[in-house]
């Protein structure tokens, strides 16, 4: 699948996946906020734990842990790069 | 000068117009990602020896926010704090109370020796000294234990995890995930928590947090809850079991507060404050071991100072006022009793009595003084009581016709009723709206009346008391 | 003698408030959660016979005015023009923290980078070459641990040297793609005519490109007030408006 370069959303990733951001389908302040936090094109995101009720999910980006709701993460697109789990 | 600024204005407009031609979303992204790339390359140059130990926090988070353990751990932590608070506060509370009792006797002898007039002794010793003494002995020990422990959790970094765990619930209710952080601040003081709602950027969600913050019992209400729970709810149990049960009851009240918060938030989101939750990002900072003694000592001193200050500023005048009201007679009845009698039918309908209602109303400036006012009002009925004996207090209440229903409803009313005066002032300052300030008074009051009335009615209908 | 004003900037949760308390001896409430410092706190201290006023800005991830916090922090640096700005960075997540530092460097020259939580980072096996970072960025870099009071003396000495002109900084300025640089140059030259050197014009140009039009209106307002103040001072009677 990855060879076809089909983009998946961050929300579809599961625990332990390593994901590279290709596109942010978000406008306005939230986009800026996400960029500030390190969700920039080309950044690696590791999917960490879910909250007990399933949403939000914690991600590790740029050495920090950031929680996003599904509403946000479903608009962040990129590729899953498996294999280098931490 | 006029022409100068017109010229300036024109040139500024032309700059802005020019900027609009070139500026676009791509440029913005590029600016930010350029900065990011630079940071990254700098880090590569100056940082060495990265290793996976960095992620110890993640392993802890796997437990603290796990599907199975996330909520139970939250409950256990809160329960443990309550347990330690209650178990630890008992002895010092009694000690401080007996110290004040002793001092009161000494002061009384002194007044007698000086042939001071009766009323002066009444105002200063039975009013001011006794009332303030009560506030200090009931409030100081639990607060000086609760808040240092809470501060440890706060400095460790546990609070954002609570916000993370609870977010889904708040989102459902239309609120912001950070509302749980402002609620946690409410444990300390609702008035201060109103200021902390500034961390919520969306005005709608911030208003929800402001309007519901009062459903978290603040330090002025903890002692009321602890006192009544231990006097009336855990009868027949002593020692560790009793303390454990008291802690469990407090947990129940906190849960109830959360349920009411969510329900009110949800209702408002569907009605007066319509809207969908705005975006949400929350950083989970790494866990940091707090400086244990430093945190403990600073938090206890801060809190103790706070309690003492409030006792002097609020409790002292209120105590004097209550004593005066209780001792100035119109006809054969004191002003206080006129007020109490007037409130009696209302109080009775809510499962309480006129004294309790009067205490809550007179306690508007600060929740800490509700119990002292109540006791003083009961005592003005003639029954003498040396305040050094906390357990004899129950007898005073029972003599006034208290049942478990009275205690339960007073606790519920305390949890749910209108915010204190300081909180209302802060709400007005923050919202700049008389309407919303009034709503923040009205909503809790209506809920408090509704809930206690319902319980009283049902309990009486089934003949349970 | 005038007190030096020093701004404390940094990401949330970098221990800014702890440093603030350490330096000023005040008891600003600390806690490990983002957004704790909602109102900026001010305190003062003395070092080597000189007075310093320290302003604890709200913790922010950037200064792009995405939120009120960021605006407060940014406005303070631009309008109040403190004598020095200490950017507090978290040694354990330097990468994201450096973003803010780079942004501050675009705004002002007198910057000290203060890498906090250094003992925590060392425990985790992170080594930071502060001398190299200092060379790369052209400003002093000090490693400290605010809670264990390590490196505070060095920070204060550096601060004193900086405000007394004993250290000259050559702050690193971001360079962007040719397209952006061309646009910056064009706008910057025009802004210079208008604002002279009151505000960092390159930074302003960038913010405009970034779409922050509100900022320029704020600046215009601020600038007019300033000129008016000067004018009224010189010729008090002839002011017309």
Task: Show the domains of chain A with their CATH numbers.
Answer: 2-80 (2.30.30.90)
Instruction: Report how far apart, in Å, the C-alpha atoms of A54 and of each of A32, A34, A57, B285 are.
Output: 25, 21, 7, 20
Q: Which residues contact B363 (CB under 8 A, 6 or more apart)?
A: B318, B369, B370, B373, B420
Q: Chain B residues with CB inside 8 Å of A50's CB? A: 65, 67
Q: Chain B residues with CB inside 8 Å of C231's CB? A: 1
ipTM over 0.85: yes
Sign, Cα dihedral of B264, B265, B270, B272: positive
Q: What is the mean pLDDT of residues C53-66?
A: 84
Domain that holds residue C151: 4-163
Domain co-membership, C62 together with C158: yes
The answer to whether residues C128 and C121 touch, using CB atoms and an 8 Å cutoff, is yes
Residue B76 located in a structural domain:
yes
Low-confidence ranges of chain B (pLDDT < 50): 1-3, 6, 53, 383-384
Domain that holds residue B325: 64-461
Residue B324 located in a structural domain:
yes
Is A71 an 8 Å CB contact of chain B?
yes
Is A2 an 8 Å CB contact of chain C?
no
CA distance B350 to B340: 14
Instruction: Report how far apart, in Å, the C-alpha atoms of C111 and of each of B423, C103, C150 are.
Output: 40, 11, 20
What's C121's domain CATH number? 3.40.50.300
Q: What is the pTM of this model?
A: 0.82
Name the domain count of chain C.
2
Domain co-membership, C114 together with C58: yes
pLDDT tier for residue C237 given thresholds of 50, 70 and 90? very low
Residue C191 located in a structural domain:
yes
Q: Chain C residues with CB inside 8 Å of B8's CB? A: 194, 220
Is B11 an 8 Å CB contact of chain C?
yes
Q: What is the mean pLDDT of residues C191-210?
A: 83
How many Cβ pairs within 8 Å bridge chains A and C? 27
Domain co-membership, C96 together with C137: yes
The last residue of one of the domains, among C129, C163, C197, is C163
CA distance C49 to B350: 66
Domain co-membership, C132 together with C188: no
How many CA atoms within 13 Å lie on the side-chain side of B147? Answer: 28
A50 beta partners: A57
Q: A22-25 — which CB contacts under 8 Å span 24+ positions?
A: A22/A77, A22/A78, A22/A79, A23/A76, A23/A77, A23/A78, A24/A75, A24/A76, A24/A77, A25/A75, A25/A76, A25/A77
Chain A CA closest to residue C64? A32
C143 beta partners: C115
The reported pLDDT for the residue numbered B455 is: 96
C-beta atoms of B61 and A49 within 8 A: yes
Q: Which residues contact C76 (CB under 8 A, 6 or more apart)?
A: C7, C40, C55, C57, C82
Low-confidence ranges of chain A (pLDDT < 50): 1-4, 84, 86
Domain co-membership, C154 together with C183: no
Residue C33 located in a structural domain:
yes
The pair of three-digit structure tokens given for residue B456, joined into one six-digit string: 């009283």
Name the domain count of chain B.
1
Residue C169 located in a structural domain:
no
The last residue of one of the domains, among C130, C163, C196, is C163
Q: Chain C residues with CB inside 8 Å of A60's CB? A: none
Percent of chain C with pLDDT over 90: 37
The reported pLDDT for the residue numbered C231 is: 46
Q: Chain A residues with CB inside 8 Å of B279's CB? A: 29-30, 33, 69, 71-72
First to last CA, chain A: 22
More confident residue, B45 or C231: B45
Residue C171 located in a structural domain:
no
Nearest to A52 among B36, B66, B177 (CB): B66
Nearest to C66 among A33, A62, A63 (CB): A33
CA distance B335 to B326: 6
Nearest to C93 among A29, A33, A62 (CB): A62
Tell me whether strands A8-9 and A18-24 are parallel, antiparallel or unpaired: unpaired
The answer to whether residues B373 and B362 touch, using CB atoms and an 8 Å cutoff, is yes
């Amino acid at each position: 699948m990855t060879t076809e370069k089909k983009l998946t959303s961050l929300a579809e990733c599961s625990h332990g996946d390593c994901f590279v951001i290709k596109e942010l389908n978000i406008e306005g302040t939230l986009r800026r906020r996400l960029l500030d936090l390190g969700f920039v094109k080309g950044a690696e995101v590791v999917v960490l734990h879910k909250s007990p009720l399933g949403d939000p999910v914690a991600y590790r980006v740029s050495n920090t842990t950031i929680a996003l709701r599904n509403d946000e993460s479903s608009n962040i697109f990129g590729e899953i790069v498996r294999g280098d789990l931490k | 000068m006029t022409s100068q600024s017109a010229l300036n204005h024109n040139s500024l407009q032309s700059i802005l117009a020019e900027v609009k031609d070139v500026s676009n979303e791509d440029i913005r992204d590029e600016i930010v990602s350029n900065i990011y790339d630079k940071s990254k390359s700098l880090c590569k140059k100056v940082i060495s020896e990265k290793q996976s130990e960095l992620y110890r926090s993640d392993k802890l988070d796997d437990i603290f926010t796990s599907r199975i353990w996330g909520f139970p751990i939250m409950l256990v932590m809160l329960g443990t704090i309550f347990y330690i608070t209650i178990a630890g506060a008992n002895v010092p509370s009694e000690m401080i109370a007996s110290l004040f009792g002793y001092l009161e006797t000494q002061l009384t002898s002194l007044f007698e020796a000086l042939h001071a007039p009766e009323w002066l002794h009444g105002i200063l010793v039975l009013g001011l000294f006794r009332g303030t003494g009560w506030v200090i002995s009931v409030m100081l020990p639990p607060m000086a234990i609760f808040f240092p422990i809470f501060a440890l959790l706060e400095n460790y970094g546990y609070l954002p995890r609570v916000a993370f765990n609870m977010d889904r619930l708040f989102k459902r209710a239309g609120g912001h995930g950070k509302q749980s952080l402002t609620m946690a601040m409410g444990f300390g003081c609702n008035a201060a928590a109103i200021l902390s709602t500034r961390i919520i950027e969306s005005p709608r969600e911030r208003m929800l947090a402001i309007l519901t913050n009062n459903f978290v019992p603040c330090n002025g209400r903890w002692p009321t809850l602890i006192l009544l729970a231990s006097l009336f709810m855990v009868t027949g149990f002593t020692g560790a079991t009793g303390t454990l049960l008291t802690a469990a009851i407090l947990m129940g009240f906190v849960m109830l507060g959360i349920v009411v918060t969510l329900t009110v938030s949800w209702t408002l989101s569907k009605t007066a404050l319509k809207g969908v939750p705005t975006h949400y990002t929350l950083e989970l900072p790494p866990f940091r071991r707090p400086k244990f003694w430093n945190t403990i000592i600073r938090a206890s001193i801060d809190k103790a100072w706070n309690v003492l200050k409030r006792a002097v500023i609020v409790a002292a005048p209120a105590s004097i006022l209550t004593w005066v009201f209780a001792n100035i007679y119109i006809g054969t009845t004191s002003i206080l009793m006129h007020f109490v009698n007037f409130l009696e039918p209302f109080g009775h309908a809510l499962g309480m009595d006129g004294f309790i209602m009067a205490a809550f109303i007179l306690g508007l400036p600060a929740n800490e003084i509700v119990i002292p006012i109540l006791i003083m009002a009961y005592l003005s009925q003639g029954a003498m009581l040396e305040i050094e004996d906390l357990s004899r207090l129950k007898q005073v209440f029972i003599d006034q016709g208290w049942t478990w229903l009275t205690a339960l409803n007073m606790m519920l009313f305390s949890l749910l009723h209108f915010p204190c005066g300081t909180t209302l002032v802060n709400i007005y300052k923050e919202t700049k709206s008389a309407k919303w300030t009034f709503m923040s008074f009205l909503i809790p009051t209506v809920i408090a009346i509704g809930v206690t009335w319902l319980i009283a009615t049902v309990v009486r209908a089934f003949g349970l008391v | 003698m005038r007190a030096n004003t020093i701004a404390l900037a940094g990401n949330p949760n970098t221990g800014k408030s702890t440093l603030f308390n350490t330096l000023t001896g005040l008891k600003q409430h600390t806690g490990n959660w983002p957004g704790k410092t909602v109102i900026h706190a001010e305190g003062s201290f003395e070092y080597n016979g000189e007075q310093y006023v320290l302003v604890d800005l709200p913790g922010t991830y950037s200064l792009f005015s995405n939120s009120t916090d960021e605006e407060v922090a940014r406005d303070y640096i631009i309008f109040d023009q403190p004598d020095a700005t200490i950017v507090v960075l978290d040694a354990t997540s330097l990468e994201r923290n450096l973003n803010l530092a780079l942004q501050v460097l675009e705004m002002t020259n007198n910057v000290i980078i203060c890498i906090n939580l250094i003992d925590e980072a060392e425990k985790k096996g992170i080594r930071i070459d502060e001398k190299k970072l200092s060379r790369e960025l052209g400003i002093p870099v000090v490693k400290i641990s605010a809670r264990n009071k390590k490196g505070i003396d060095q920070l204060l000495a550096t601060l004193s040297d900086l405000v007394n002109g004993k250290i000259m900084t050559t702050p690193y300025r971001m360079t962007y793609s040719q397209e952006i640089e061309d646009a910056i140059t064009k706008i910057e030259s025009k802004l210079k005519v208008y604002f002279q050197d009151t505000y960092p014009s390159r930074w302003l140009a960038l913010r405009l490109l970034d779409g922050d039009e509100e900022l320029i209106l704020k600046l215009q307002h601020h600038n007019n007030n300033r000129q008016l103040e000067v004018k009224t001072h010189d010729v008090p009677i002839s002011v017309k408006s």
